[in-house]
Each structure stands twice: as C-alpha cells, then as structure tokens.
C-alpha cells in the first residue's frame, strides 16, 4: 500500500526524522491559512505540492493547461490562487498515463533553503533477506539513473535485522555522504529515524529524495527529509490500524478495488484479451502465452485456488467492464477442485452475465472429462481447448476476428 | 530415492484443526502419507478424524510420535511463531503453506534460524511431494496442498515458486510417462526459507534424480543465482520456465515477491541467465516437459 508524501512525513516525524513544517489541506482557503501561519513564523517561501501516488509531479501538466504540481510561493495570496487552480483539477505526469490523476489534497509546507541534496532509502535486500540502506551523494534525481551513470556515488549497507541499525553504522553512512562536523550527528540521527520508520511501520520501502542540508534564516544548518515516499506491506496492516486508515481509494483503479472485494487479484492492462486463471504463476504464464501467440492481455486475474461460481461470476463482471476486451480466456488447472464443478460455475457465470463475447475455456485436472462435457452441453457458444497453448492461439484469433 | 522427504517420513501438522489445514490433512492421509500428529495449542488430547492425536506444542508432538517434518497451516499473524516453534523442536523439515505472512516477520525468522539444522520451505507455497508407487502415486509423502494424483514416482525433480505452474509441469511430465523424484514448491514470497539454488543442490546430489525442471517468475534474482551455479556445477540436465514476460514493472502480480522493481527482476534477464547456463527454457508453459525431454 502506497502512502502520500504528507502521510509518509507524519510517520517519519513520529520516529524522530526532521521534516519541513507543514500540513495537508483539501481547500484553497485552508491552504491560505496554513501558509499565513508559516509566513508568520518567519518563512520566506512556502511550497505547495499536490498529493498523488505518482512521480514527476513538478513537471506534470493539468488538463486545463495549468503547469506543474509543485509551486514555490512568496505570499499567502499566491498560495490561495495556485491551490485553487490545482484542487479538483486533473494532472498528467510521466507516471500517471494519459487519463491523469485528479488532485484532492495539497501539502502546504515551509520552502526550505536547500544547501545540498542527497538520496536515502531503506528496502528489503532479497539476496540476503536483510534490510538494505541505500544512500547517494547525488539527490533529487532518479536513483536508477545515478546507478547507471555514477554508481560510485551510491553506498549500500546491510543491517542485521536482529540487532538493528547501530549508531556507528549511521555515522559511517553520514560520513559517506560527505557530511562533516555537527552535521554527522544530525545526519546519523535522521538515518536512524528513517530505518526505525521502515522497521516499526512494516514498510516495504522508505525513500527520501531529496534528503537535504537546509539552512535556517539564522544561518544554522541541519539535515531534513524534504520529500518522502513510503510503501507499506499490505500483509502487516492488521497490526497498524492507524496506517490502514491512510489508504486512499481515489488512487487505486476502480476495477481493482472492486475485484479485491471478491478476493480476486486483478490488474488492468492495455490489451484486448481478458483472462481468468487460478493461481498467480499460471495467471502470469497465461498472459505470456497470449502475447507469445500475437495477442495482448487485457488483464492479470487470479481467481484463487477454489474458483467458486460466485468468484467466477464476479470475475466475468469485472473483465466485462473493461471496454477494450474482445475475447475471454478461462484457464483453470483443477488440481483438488473437481473440473466439473468449475465447468458448472463457468456456465452459470456466463449465463448470469449474459456473456456475448467469444469465450475460450481450457480445463485440466480432476474429473476433466465430465467438466468438458458440461461445457459442451451447456448450449453456450464457447470454444474448448485441450492445452494452454491451443487455448491461447484460439483466443487470440477470436479477439482479432 | 528422493530429496527432503521419503514415503515413510512422519509428518505433523500445525494448525490441523483449521478448516484449510484439516481438509488438506485428510487429503494427505488419503494419499497414504504418514500424518502422525497435529498441533493446536489448547486442544491436546483430542484426535483429528478419530485417528491423528493432537498436541499443545510441537516439541511434545515430535517426542511422542517421532515426527521429523511439519506442515504449517497457521493463520498469517501467528505463522512466524509457528515456524520458530517447529525449528526450536529440532524438526528436520518445516513447510510453511500460509500465505500473507508480513515480510518483517520472515526477515526475523530467517535471521533467527540461520545455522540451525532445520530446512524451511515456503511460506506461501504448495508444499513438497515425493510420489508413491501405488495407483495415482498413492503411498507417497504429500506435505501441503498439491493434488496428489497428478504425480507419478520417478526420477525428475521439480522446483518452483508457483503452485499451479508446478501442477502444470508435473502433469505434463506424468502424461509423458516421466515420473518425479520430488516436487518442491518454494513459494512466492520475497523472503523464502529455501531458494531455487538450495533445492537444485539437493537434486544434484540425489542419485534418484536424473533431470530437473526449475520454474521461476519475475522479482528478485534467485533464478539468476541458481543459473550461475548450474552453469559451473550442475551435473544433470535442467529445463526451465519463467512467468511474467508481459508483467508491467512496479506491479505485484499476485505473489508478494512477483514484482519488477527498479528495473530488476525482469523475465528477460532471468531467461537470458538461464539460457546462458545451458538450461533448456520452454517458450510457453505448455512446453515445460518437452523442454526437458529435448535434453534428457
């Protein structure tokens, strides 16, 4: 589960990480009053940032032509005007796709004077099954680009999960970033806080980009998390009620939310061949087979191990809501399940949804002969297939017809 | 011969009184597997289906019945504890079927059990099957949730991150007259107890295994690591398949571990590493057995 920047900063602040002062809001008037307080506290600049689960916000363009989802403002009036232009408006960034994303929330924060920028992230190192801290002297840019062009700028540290991050390790990382003097302590404290956030919140990733040396009006310097991104392990939400409440359904595809209500794992793609499969690996492999025979999969859909009539019906309803779909492939390996039960479920679901599109069904496994007979006797115009390869070829041909 | 378990292995089931655990325990008993004990804290003295004694803890269950392997069907919030209990009891093999264990729990478990004599398979896996020689492979050791009848006793080893793709491969082998020594589902989570490489080393050393099918999917680099080892060390023919060529980056494809992140973990990179290691990679999932038969 992804969090908004303002939510990520709330969690970070809770674990001792320095973040620029500010608050989220949903109206232009609120934005103005938050900004007024920040200016009254002596801030020279206030930054206004749209809150969407997508990168490239600064360079995004709104559908009405208004440019940029991040603005530095010198006055509360300016904040009000820009907030009004962005709230409710839909922005397209390099990550949103053409449909773009509607803006519901803004973060109004103090516009810090930035002296230097770095990168810091905590994630799982799958090779060692340990937490991994990645830090880079180059911040504010795409880390994958830095890894390509200047890999020496990136420092990596594995943390023993049973001991946790040790203070000396945090200091070493701060030094590796080029920090010196008092900033080593400020940096080490922040790094320790970011690690603690990752661990305590069951995050799958915490990314601070940029991590900055910021200068106060009095000339003193400190280290702060100027932007932040956090993803949480969905399987651990049962022990984080507060974080579970941060879920923003506006940011999730409607059909995917709908599918999750039926315990279906659905991901919408751009093709026109829908597929319903039991098991995640087989579902991916079915998409691959469709592509292999020249088609484009419309979705990933794992109906789970049981593939009950209710689930298959819900699955049909969901894929049918995708207007691109021209043909459907059902691919079930009925291991424990009786294939005849599955076949009856497919027939019932096709009837309940008054399915008109070509339907190719490949059943294999337990009691498959009876299952195939049920399909053949159903009166539905469905197309049978004995192997996955044959099924993929047939459904691709139907979608192209 | 086989790896991890033999037809006479004595098995206990943690979470035997849950509906999922109970159903699959019954199927294992029907398959002829020696399920000798169940564990559900607070239910000691009861019996599962009037035959299998239930204990409060793993240690006493193992002591009383001689069980050396455990199948874990405990719900996700309590599964890490169940694994640690089984390891503390000194079992040789622990197979965690449970899907949805928090990653942090598995990071701790993996660190805590490093160096112990116990082998952990899973979590989020279909389990382990060593087929028997009876009708429909009856009489084998079935730990987990795989359909037993699709197997056939023989000399091909199968290792996979995906349940249904394992069944596909096994069924293709059986239909082509090729039996299996042992089939191991290592699971779809990002922190697995055992990797492809761990299992392939066991197959390589097993005199009862003649050839290997290795099934992988997007996410992580376990397939690449296994391929590098196979290239340098494996004495047996290996065929493979990788799912997820069409998976979009940054999306979790059903399995918690099936995600391309930061450009890493793509199907292309895995297939390339496998082909470079001389592994016969199937173009479609329908051709897994065929890919192996080409090089046997």
Calpha distance B198→A397 (Å, rounded):
42
Residues B154 and B88 in one domain: no
The DSSP annotation for A286-353 comes to: HHHHHHHTT--B-EEEE-TTT--HHHHHHHHHHHHTSTT--EEEEEEEESSS-HHHHHHHHHHHHHHT
Residues 257-286 of B with CB under 8 A from A: 257-258, 262-263, 267, 283-286
B138 labelled catalytic: no
Final residue before a domain boundary, out of B106, B121, B136: B121
Contacts of A29 (CB under 8 A, 6+ apart): A80
Q: Does A24 touch chain B (CB under 8 A)?
A: no
Angle at A339 between CA A334 and CA A343, to 5 degrees: 125
Task: Look at residue A336 and tell me whether its pLDDT is greater than 80.
Answer: no
**Token representation of residue A229:** 């991104």
**pLDDT tens digits along A280-299:** 999 999 999 999 999 999 99
* Residue B194 maps to a domain: yes
Q: Which residue among the candidates A112, A207, A344, A398 is catalytic per the annotation?
A: A207
The number of CA neighbours under 13 Å toward the Cβ of B282 is 29
- The per-residue pLDDT for A366 is 79
Q: What whole-number distance in Å separates Cα of residue A69 and Cα of residue A48?
A: 8
- Per-residue pLDDT at A307 exceeds 80: no
Residue B287 domain-assigned? yes
The one-character DSSP state at A89 is -
Q: Are β-strands B280-281 and A299-302 bridged in parallel, bridged antiparallel, or unpaired?
A: unpaired
Do B185 and B276 lie in one domain? The reply is yes
Mean pLDDT of chain A: 93
Beta strands in A16-97 (DSSP E): 22-25, 46-50, 61-62, 70-73, 90-92
Instruction: Give CA angle at B221 (B215, B227), nearest 5°.
Output: 60
Interface of A with B in 244-303 (CB under 8 A): 265, 267, 269, 277-292, 297, 300, 302
| In a shared domain, residues B156 and B289 | yes
Q: Which residues of chain A lie closer than 8 angstroms to B164, CB-CB?
A: 277-279, 281-282, 333, 335
Q: How big is the CA angle at B294 (ends B293 and B296), to the nearest 5 degrees?
A: 60
> Element (H or E) spanning A356, and its range?
none
> Domain limits of chain A?
21-111, 113-244, 254-400
Q: B2 to chain A nearest CA, in Å?
A: 23
Distance CA A24, CA A39 (A): 16
Tell me if residue A245 is catalytic: no
How large is the average pLDDT for residues A108-119? 95
Q: Which fold has domain A21-111?
A: Dna Ligase; domain 1 (3.30.1490)
Q: Which of B108, B217, B284 sits opposite A281 (nearest CB)?
A: B217
In the block, residue with structure tokens 């919408």: A268
Q: Over 90: is that where the pLDDT of B141 sits? A: yes
Q: How confident is the model at residue A96 (pLDDT cuts 50, 70, 90)?
A: confident
Could you tell me which chain A residue has the CA closest to the CA of B193? A129
Give A202's contacts in chain B (Cβ within 8 Å).
Answer: 102-104
Is B70 within the bounds of a domain? yes
What pLDDT score was predicted for residue A95? 86
The verdict on pTM exceeding 0.90 is yes
For range B84-103, the mean pLDDT: 97
How crowded is the C-beta side of B6, counted as CA atoms within 13 Å? 7
Asked, for residue B43, whether it belongs to a domain, the answer is yes
Fold of the domain built from segment(s) A113-244: D-amino Acid Aminotransferase; Chain A, domain 1 (3.30.470)
Are B107 and B189 contained in the same domain? Answer: no
CATH code assigned at B57: 3.40.50.720
Percent of chain A's residues with pLDDT above 70: 99
Interface of A with B in 154-183 (CB under 8 A): 160-162
Cis status, amide bond into A221, omega within 30 of 0: no
Domain membership of residue B101 as a residue range = 10-121
User: Are the beta carbons of A266 and A318 closer than 8 angstroms?
Assistant: yes
Is the CB of A289 less than 8 angstroms away from the CB of B285? yes
* Per-residue pLDDT at B127 exceeds 90: yes
The domain tally of chain B equals 2
Do both B80 and B167 map to the same domain?
A: no
Residue-wise pLDDT for A204-226, tens only, equals 999 999 999 999 878 899 999 99
User: pLDDT confidence of A304, banded at 50, 70, 90?
Assistant: confident
Backbone angles phi, psi at B251, to 5 degrees: -110, 140
Q: Are A318 and A264 contacting, i.e. CB atoms less than 8 angstroms apart?
A: yes
Cβ neighbours, 10 Å, residue A26: 14
Contact B284 A288 (CB under 8 A): yes
B80 plus B181 within the same structural domain: no
What confidence category does residue A309 fall into, taking pLDDT thresholds of 50, 70 and 90? confident
**Nearest Cα residue in chain B from A291:** B246
In sequence order, the 6+-apart residues with CB closer than 8 A to the CB of A191 are: A120, A133, A135, A165, A170, A173, A174
Checking if the pLDDT of B17 tops 70, the result is yes
Domain holding B168: CATH number?
A: 3.40.50.261
d(C-alpha B208, C-alpha A112), whole Å: 67
CB–CB contact A126 B190 (8 Å): yes
Q: Give the Cα separation of B286 and B283 in Å (integer).
A: 8
Of A235, A336, A387, the CB nearest to B256: A235
pLDDT in tens, B258-295: 998 877 899 999 999 999 999 999 999 999 999 999 99
Question: Does CATH place domain A254-400 in 1.20.120.640?
Answer: no
Residue ranges of B 46-75 with Cβ closer than 8 A to chain A: none
What is the rounded CA–CA span in Å between residue B163 and residue B166? Answer: 5
Verify whether the Cβ–Cβ distance B171 to A364 is below 8 Å. yes
- Across the range B86-114, mean pLDDT stands at 97
HEC secondary structure over A172-235 = HHHHHCCCCCHHHHHHHHHHHHHHHHHHHCCEEEEEEEEEEEEECCCCCEEEEECCEEEEECHH
Q: Report residue B100's pLDDT band, with 50, 70 and 90 as the boundaries.
A: very high
Does the beta-carbon distance from A287 to B247 stay under 8 Å?
yes
| Domain assignment present for B1 | no
- Calculate how close chain B gets to A163, using CA atoms only, in Å: 10
Tens digits of residue pLDDT in B210-264: 999 999 999 999 999 999 999 999 999 999 999 999 999 888 998 989 998 877 8
Q: Which of B77, B149, B246 lies closest to A291 in CB terms?
A: B246
Q: Which residue in A73, A79, A77, A88 sits closest to A31, CA to CA? A: A79
Residue A65 CB neighbours (<10 A): 6
Question: CB-based contact (8 Å) between A145 and chain B?
Answer: no
Q: Choose among A236, A269, A284: nearest Cβ to B244.
A: A284
As to burial, measured by CB atoms within 10 angstroms (0-12 exposed, 13-18 middle, 19+ buried), residue B97 is buried
Residue B137 lies in a domain: no
Percentage of residues of chain B with pLDDT beyond 90: 95
pLDDT bracket for residue A338 (50, 70, 90): confident
Q: Does A370 touch chain B (CB under 8 A)?
A: no
* Helix (H) or strand (E) run with residue B126 in it: none
Whether B175 and B117 map to the same domain: the answer is no
Domain edge (last residue) among B71, B102, B121 = B121
Average pLDDT of the residues of chain B = 96
**B103-113 and B76-88 helices, crossing angle to 10°:** 0
Q: Name the residue in chain A with its Cα closest to that of B195.
A: A127
């Amino acid at each position: 589960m992804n969090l908004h920047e303002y939510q990520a900063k709330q969690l970070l602040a809770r674990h001792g990480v320095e973040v620029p002062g500010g608050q989220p809001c949903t109206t232009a008037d609120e934005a103005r009053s938050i900004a007024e307080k920040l200016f009254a506290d002596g801030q020279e600049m206030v930054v206004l940032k749209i809150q969407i689960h997508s990168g490239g916000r600064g360079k995004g363009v709104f559908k009405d032509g208004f440019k940029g989802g991040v603005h530095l403002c010198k006055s509360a009036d300016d904040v009000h005007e820009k907030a009004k232009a962005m709230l409710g408006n839909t922005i397209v960034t390099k990550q949103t796709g053409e449909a773009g994303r509607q803006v519901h929330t803004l973060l109004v924060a103090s516009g810090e004077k930035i002296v230097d920028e770095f990168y810091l992230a905590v994630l799982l190192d799958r090779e060692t099954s340990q937490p991994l801290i990645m830090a880079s002297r180059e911040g504010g840019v795409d880390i994958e680009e830095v890894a390509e062009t200047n890999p020496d700028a990136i420092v990596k540290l594995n943390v023993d999960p049973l001991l946790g991050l040790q203070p000396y390790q945090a200091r070493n990382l701060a030094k590796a970033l080029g920090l010196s003097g008092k900033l080593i302590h400020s940096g080490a404290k922040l790094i320790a806080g970011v690690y603690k956030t990752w661990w305590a919140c069951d995050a799958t990733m915490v990314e601070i980009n940029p991590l900055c040396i910021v200068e106060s009006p009095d000339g003193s310097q400190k280290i702060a998390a100027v932007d932040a991104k956090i993803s949480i392990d969905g399987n651990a939400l049962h022990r984080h009620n507060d974080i579970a409440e941060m879920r923003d359904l506006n940011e999730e595809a409607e059909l995917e939310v709908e599918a999750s209500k039926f315990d279906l794992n659905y991901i919408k793609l751009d093709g026109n061949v829908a597929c319903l499969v039991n098991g995640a690996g087989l579902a991916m492999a079915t998409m691959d087979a469709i592509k292999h025979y020249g088609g484009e999969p419309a979705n990933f859909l794992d109906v789970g191990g049981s593939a009950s009539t209710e689930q298959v019906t819900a699955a049909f309803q969901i894929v049918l809501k995708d207007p691109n779909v021209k043909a459907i492939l059902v691919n079930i390996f009925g291991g424990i399940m009786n294939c005849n039960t599955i076949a009856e479920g497919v027939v019932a679901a096709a009837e309940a949804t008054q399915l008109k599109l070509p339907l190719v069904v490949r059943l294999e496994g337990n009691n498959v002969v009876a299952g195939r007979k049920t399909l053949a006797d159903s009166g539905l115009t469905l197309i049978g297939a004995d192997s996955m390869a044959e099924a993929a070829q047939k459904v691709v041909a139907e979608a192209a017809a | 011969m086989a790896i991890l378990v033999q037809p006479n292995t004595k098995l206990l089931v943690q979470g035997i009184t849950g509906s999922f655990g109970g159903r699959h325990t019954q199927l294992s008993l029907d398959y002829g597997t020696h399920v000798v004990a169940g564990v559900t804290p607070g239910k000691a003295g009861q019996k599962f289906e009037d035959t299998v004694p239930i204990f409060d803890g793993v240690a006493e269950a193992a002591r009383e019945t001689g069980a050396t392997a455990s199948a874990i069907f405990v719900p996700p919030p309590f599964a890490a504890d169940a694994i640690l209990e089984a390891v503390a009891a000194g079992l040789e093999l622990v197979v965690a079927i449970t899907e949805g264990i928090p990653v942090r729990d598995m990071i701790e478990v993996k660190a805590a059990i490093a160096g112990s004599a116990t082998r952990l398979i899973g979590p989020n896996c279909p389990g382990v099957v060593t087929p028997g020689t009876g009708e429909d492979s009856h009489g084998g050791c079935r730990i987990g949730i795989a359909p037993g009848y699709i197997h056939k006793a023989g000399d091909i080893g199968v290792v996979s991150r995906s349940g249904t793709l394992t069944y596909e491969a096994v069924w293709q082998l059986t239909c082509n007259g090729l039996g299996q020594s042992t089939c191991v589902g290592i699971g779809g989570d990002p922190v697995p107890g055992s990797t492809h490489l761990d299992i392939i080393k066991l197959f390589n050393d097993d005199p009862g295994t003649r050839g290997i099918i290795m099934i992988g999917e997007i996410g992580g680099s376990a397939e690449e690591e296994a391929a590098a080892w196979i290239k340098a060390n494996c004495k047996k023919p290996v065929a493979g398949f990788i799912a997820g060529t069409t998976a979009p980056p940054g999306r979790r494809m059903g399995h918690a571990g099936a995600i391309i992140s930061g450009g890493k973990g793509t199907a292309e990179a895995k297939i390339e590493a496998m082909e470079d290691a001389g592994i016969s990679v199937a173009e479609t999932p329908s051709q897994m057995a065929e890919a192996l038969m080409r090089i046997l």
